[in-house]
Every structure is written in structure tokens, then in C-alpha cells.
Amino acid sequence: MSYRYEPLPDTQHIRLLSLHALSGHNSVAATLSTHSLDDPVAYGALSYAWGVAETRCAIQIDGSSFQVWPNSYAALLRLVQAGRIGPVWIDAICIIQNDKAEKAMQVPLMSDIYTHASSVYVWLDEASTAEEQASIMLPDMLDRLEKADLLARPTFQEVPNLSQTFQELGLPPLSRISESA
């Protein structure tokens, strides 16, 4: 059975998706609820590229099937796997996309939605093992870089240890950041 939306009560309300903890298979299940922006509810917001894939992936919302783009499915799955199962706002699900009147009502709220969110998660894509390792080591590496003597302005050749560290780490591919923005 496909999911059926409940209408929003007024122009200050938004929907939030509460992800359920992962159970068994790699599937995403969630509950969709309505909240007023005037009430302080802690939630995150998800940002991702919509993509142009022809296929859809199914998630479960309140026990009903809901079709999403593969990219948003991967992002939601990642949040669940990481244990981030609090309420999250995601435009493709929290706004009825084929309801132009609701979109017109929700778009002016974007400013409040993003500024009230405790965090914004930006989903890029799947990562290689090296990229995952680099992300873990990045904070420590930045500390080491920033503690180095900036006044001495070392060149790349003068800091072989640092360059070696960079190479070993295989820094995250920055081009992906540009794709998401």
C-alpha cells in the first residue's frame, strides 16, 4: 500500500521524518509526523543531489511503501546505519512534491527550516576505503598542520613528513564537495 499524506494544518507546520533503527535487512523505515516551527523540536536536515536516475527505491513510512530516488535512499540508509535516527527534514519526502499549492506554502519556510535544524547533513556519494580512512584521520592531520610554524612558511619540499602524511591519507576527493553544493 502506498503512503498517503495527511494535509498540513497551517502555514507554520512542517513534516519531519523519524527514522527507525535498522532491523535485519538494509531497509529504511520511518514515521512521518507534523510539527510547528514555533515549537522547539530537535531535528536534522538532509541535503543531497536529486539525481536523474530512472529507478526508485522503496522505504517504509508508517508501514506504507514510499518511493524515493536512489540518492536520497542511500543518504537515509547512511543516517540509519550511523545511528542518527532522530527526526530529519528531507524535502522530497516532507513536502508533497506533486502538490504545487503545498510547495508554494512550504518554500517560504525554508529559511526557518534550515536555521532551526541542529545539523544539516550533506550527502555526497559512496566513498572508497581510502576516503573513509582519510575522513577519520583528517581532524588529527589538521591539528598537526595548523600547529606547524606558519611564519616559517615551509614549502612542500621542506615538510616531507607532512606530504607523506597527505599521501598516506589520500585526502577526501574535494570534487565531490563541489558536486553537492
Partner 1 sequence: MQEVLLARKIIILCGNAQVDWDHIVRLERQVLQRQLHSILKEPVLTSAQIFEALNRIANFSTCKAKMAASPNGSVPTTVLLHVIRRKGVSVPANRVYGILSLVPASVKADVVVDYTLDPAIVYANFVQLNLRDDPMLELFSQVRGPELFRMHGLPSWCLELDRPPPINRFEGSNGLASGYHAGFAPPLSERHVVCEASDRNVLRIPGFLIDTVIDNIEAFATPSSSQVGPTAAVAILDWESRTRTLAARTLKDDDKKNRHHCYVLALLAERTLTKNNMYRKFEGDAVQLYEQYLTHLRELAEHGKATARAFDFPMVGAIADRAFIATAQGRIGYARPSVQPGDSVCVSQNSIVPFIVRNRPEGGTRYAYGRGLCEWHHARRSDGDERSA
Could you give the string, one character per residue 24-63, with x where binding to partner 1 holds by CB under 8 A and - elsewhere? ---------------------x-x--x-x-----------
Q: Are 37 and 94 in contact (CB under 8 A)?
A: no
CB of 25 or CB of 147, closer to partner 1: 147
Q: Which residues, other chains included, contact 130 with Cβ-Cβ below 8 Å and sequence gap of 6+? A: 169, 170
- Residue 140 near partner 1 by CB under 8 A: no
CB-based burial label for 174 (10 Å; 0-12, 13-18, 19+): exposed
Q: Cell 532551526 sits at which residue?
A: 116
To 10 degrees, what angle do helices 129-147 and 160-169 make? 160
**CB closer to partner 1 out of 21 and 174:** 174
Which residues form the interface with partner 1 (CB under 8 A)? Answer: 45, 47, 50, 52, 75, 78-79, 81-82, 100, 103-105, 107-108, 110-111, 114-115, 117-128, 131-132, 134-136, 138-139, 142, 145-146, 150, 154-156, 159, 162-163, 166-167, 171-178, 180-181
